[in-house]
Structure 1
Amino acid sequence: MSLAHDEQNRSAPSCPIDLVHLSRQTMGDRALEHEVLALFERQASHIGGKLTTLETGADHVVRADLAHKLKGSARAVGAFAVAKAAENYEHSARAGLMRAMDSRQLQEALAEALGALRELNG
């Protein structure tokens, strides 16, 4: 990954990953930032794909647990829009309600964050 590390780029409001937050979480260790982002990218892709392919009637607990995992890892790297969307999805799933809006918002937030990670890697 070739992250832009000047303060202006790290705090760009349009970036769906808060790189300043990530830097604080990793105590400024750039190698660790790369590793954590790579792990998040793999996990987010996997969970997002799994949630998309689960049958409509799939167990709401499974959906909620996947969203919960995604929420935690998204918060850790500073993908706060993903974390919020995953939280909404999790609450709906735990309530036994699967609203299309929650699923759509989560998929959109994931696509934006994963797209930003691809740009950072490029």
Structure 2
Amino acid sequence: MPSEPAPAAVRCVVSPLDHRIEAVTGHAVDTLWTRRDRGLLDEPHTLLVDRHRELAQAETGVTFYRTLLHRLSSGEFPVDAALFERIDRTVDQLEEAADARDAAARRVLAALEPIEAAT
């Protein structure tokens, strides 16, 4: 019986800026995160990775509230005043999470632009 090959590491895109970061730095975002943890990056790249981690966390918040909103609207719960209140609250939280994500993306771009200019 032939042995199965080891599964390749699955890499998912954390943000729409990942490809731009990878193009400018020449490294995968995962590699940059690892190098940051080991203290191997210069100051501009360290700042970029720190800002990217903030963006990843903010993106997780957006995904959480979007998934919750989907669940609330899936038909699982009775349609009543309590459901409408939960949906309204979740939409507000989703909007706040999206605003936080957008602000984090702007901080990533601000950290990325000097690196782009230097290359």
Query: Given the two structures, how large is their TM-score scaled by the length of structure 1?
Result: 0.40
The structure with the larger Rg is 2
Query: Given the two structures, how large is their TM-score scaled by the length of structure 2?
Result: 0.41
